[in-house]
Amino acid sequence: MTTIAIIGAGLIGRSWAYVFARAGLTVQVWDQNPEVIARLPQDLAEMIADVGGDAAIAGRIHGKATMAEALKGAGFVQESGPEIADIKKALYIEIDRLAEPDAVLASSSSALMPSVFTADLPGRARCLVAHPVNPPHVVPIVELCPADYTDPKAMDFAEALFRQVGQVPARLTREIDGFILNRLQAVLLAESLRLVAEGVVSVQGLDDTIRHGLGRRWAFMGPLETITLNAPGGVPDYMRRYGPVMARLTDDAARGEAFTESVAQTIAAAFPNLDVAARQRWRDRELAALDTHLRDRSERNEING
Amino acid sequence: MTTIAIIGAGLIGRSWAYVFARAGLTVQVWDQNPEVIARLPQDLAEMIADVGGDAAIAGRIHGKATMAEALKGAGFVQESGPEIADIKKALYIEIDRLAEPDAVLASSSSALMPSVFTADLPGRARCLVAHPVNPPHVVPIVELCPADYTDPKAMDFAEALFRQVGQVPARLTREIDGFILNRLQAVLLAESLRLVAEGVVSVQGLDDTIRHGLGRRWAFMGPLETITLNAPGGVPDYMRRYGPVMARLTDDAARGEAFTESVAQTIAAAFPNLDVAARQRWRDRELAALDTHLRDRSERNEING
């Protein structure tokens, strides 16, 4: 069984540690801040309790005093350090130097493409991005993005490993800014921000439209299966019937200009007295409950054919 | 209690009939095709059984032989006829003439704005669009869109009625093509189609990214609450940290040119041997189960404060 090294033990790093340990793997964790490692058992216990997990899982997660110790014997490295190119570059020089020769190196980076911080490494062919939605222990997707020099075998290894531990890898064929998830989030947000800024709908009305509408379908089908079921003849029929209308709706859609300080204030005003940390814990409990619901339904459908 | 008239008893009309009857209201249904009315009890029974509803609810739904009979005594009319401007115009002349003087007239139209088919009516001030996601008995959102001449009291009435029967109305302040939901679906689809057409990700990878990723959050929060929780200082903090990156991702986003026959074929190939009707029934059962899950969680959160 592959031993996992987690480099950077903030919220995302700890969540990754739990994902791999939950699946029975041994996890070795390092953070450049020794206090983070000192607090690791307590932070893990809290996170696991919050989602009703088994506290014993934390027994497979081992804080280490040095990066070299965390990397020793590890066949897969999940790095979750700061999203700053120079910091990531410096970190990767060390990781590539100290990791086992056959280890695959994955980064949780959301904003930086792999070539930004791995292009000059001797071991660059084993580097890729494995981008989660925060926190991965309750949201299964992980986007796997290669640089043009990434060895397909490193991608295969990462894909198989993430499936083994119960995540859902989505494999990109090449680097693209924002990968898939944030590109889709960005276009939907741009139009959402514009509609709210122009007063066409309230902040709550906008959220309700997705939350009590399209989000319901997208939570178990995705947008392409959704349209496949929206016309009797499947998606070619959909395209003939609705393609021209949908195309028209995008032609004056908002873009970057919609991301303003002013609309941020409008949205903030719709969430008065918000305790972000408390609400994040609520969100993660809801994500855990939804994940359980969707896994149960999926199993039931498999059993019933 | 308001009596409801349903004009047009296809899939959406029948689903609406069930929504209102489920809440205890009397529903009178007419369709221009007498066979649809003849088959109504059987079609309703099947629909209700599919979502595990109480068969007795159909007892409050009454098929009528003429439009005049369906409208008699009804305080609210939900029209779900064909989405063709000339047909809707002709239909509304009759509805406006025959409906009770104080009835509010709502249309399920998704592609036509209310002014397209109600502008010339004597009773145009009581007309609005109440656009559902299909089928409304398992998806609560309903977009309420006024024309510039719609009486705000008609909007108030519709909003209160939909809340009373357990739907979630999202109220627009003015007419806009596509309303909110389809504008957001259109921009996300355009970029999705492009990414698949260019081979950056597979059809399944694209759907997985939403289904096992963002769709999980959007199913219970919506996109604006989602970003509010993505930075410690709330949405103004989010905008400072990530606004520039997200803006950049939209600047070369796909638009109408992405809706091609060719990408439709690519998507269709990813769903071989698809039985659309059977899969739609599966979808509606999953939507019903998800609705139950989300309502249970919502009640639990209210009880626990």
What is the per-residue pLDDT across B225-238, written as a single tens digit (0 to 9) for each? 999 999 999 999 99
Question: What are the C-alpha distances in Å from A160 to residues A29, A164, A167?
Answer: 22, 6, 10
Contacts of A140 in chain B (CB under 8 A): 212-213
Q: Do B201 and A171 touch (CB under 8 A)?
A: yes
Given a contact cutoff of 8 angstroms between Cβ atoms, the answer to whether A104 and A250 are in contact is no
A28 in helix, strand or coil?
strand
Mutate to test the interface with B, among A177, A182, A246 (most CBs of B within 10 A): A246
The number of C-beta contacts closer than 8 angstroms across A and B is 383
Q: Which value, in Å, is the radius of gyration of the alpha carbons in chain A?
A: 21
A 10 A CB-CB count for A33 gives 11
What integer pLDDT is reported at residue B300 of this predicted model?
A: 87
A67 in helix, strand or coil?
helix
Given a contact cutoff of 8 angstroms between Cβ atoms, the answer to whether A256 and B234 are in contact is no
What integer pLDDT is reported at residue A221 of this predicted model?
A: 95
A181-274 has CATH 1.10.3720.10 classification: no
What would the pLDDT profile of A77-95 be if each residue is shown by its tens digit? 999 999 999 999 999 999 9
Q: Which residue of B has its CA nearest to A232?
A: B276
**H or E stretch including A207?**
helix A203-209
* pLDDT for A2 beyond 70: yes
What would the pLDDT profile of A185-239 be if each residue is shown by its tens digit? 999 999 999 999 999 999 999 999 999 999 999 999 999 999 999 999 999 999 9
Residue from A159, A58, A40, A175 nearest A106 by CA = A159
What integer pLDDT is reported at residue A303 of this predicted model?
A: 76
Arithmetic mean of pLDDT over chain A: 96
Task: Name the residue type at position B75.
Answer: G
Please tell me the pTM assigned to this model. Answer: 0.96
A262-268 own/partner pairs: CB under 8 Å, 24+ apart:
A262/A197, A263/A193, A263/A196, A263/A197, A263/B239, A264/B235, A264/B236, A264/B238, A264/B239, A264/B243, A265/B236, A266/A196, A266/A197, A266/A203, A267/A196, A267/A203, A267/B224, A267/B227, A267/B228, A267/B235, A268/B228, A268/B234, A268/B235, A268/B236
What integer pLDDT is reported at residue A75 of this predicted model?
A: 98
Residue from B52, B28, B53, B50 nearest B40 by CA = B28
**Complex ipTM, two decimals?**
0.97
What integer pLDDT is reported at residue A300 of this predicted model?
A: 87
For chain B, residues with pLDDT lower than 70 are: 304-305
Q: Do B184 and A180 touch (CB under 8 A)?
A: no
For residue A145, the 8-state DSSP code is: E
Tokens 């004056």 correspond to what residue?
Answer: A252
Superfamily of domain A4-171: NAD(P)-binding Rossmann-like Domain (3.40.50.720)
Q: Per-domain residue ranges for chain B? A: 4-171, 184-274
Q: Which value, in Å, is the radius of gyration of the alpha carbons in chain B?
A: 21
What integer pLDDT is reported at residue A305 of this predicted model?
A: 54
- Smallest Cα distance from B167 to chain A, Å: 9
* pLDDT for A29 beyond 70: yes
- Smallest Cα distance from B272 to chain A, Å: 11
Counting residues of chain A whose pLDDT is more than 70, the rounded percentage is 99
* pLDDT for A122 beyond 70: yes
Domain covering B184-274: architecture:
Orthogonal Bundle (1.10)
What would the pLDDT profile of A97-117 be if each residue is shown by its tens digit? 999 999 999 999 998 999 999
Q: What gap in Å lies between CA A179 and CA A175, rounded to an integer? A: 7
* pLDDT for A290 beyond 60: yes
Question: What are the C-alpha distances in Å from A278 to residues A274, B75, B232, B237, B294?
Answer: 9, 44, 11, 17, 20
Task: Name the residue type at position A6.
Answer: I
What integer pLDDT is reported at residue A60 of this predicted model?
A: 98
Q: What gap in Å lies between CA B249 and CA B187, rounded to an integer? A: 13
For residue B64, the 8-state DSSP code is: -
Given a contact cutoff of 8 angstroms between Cβ atoms, the answer to whether A9 and A29 are in contact is yes
Residue A139 CB-half CA count within 13 A: 28
**Minimum-distance CB partner of B195 among A180, A212, A253:** A180
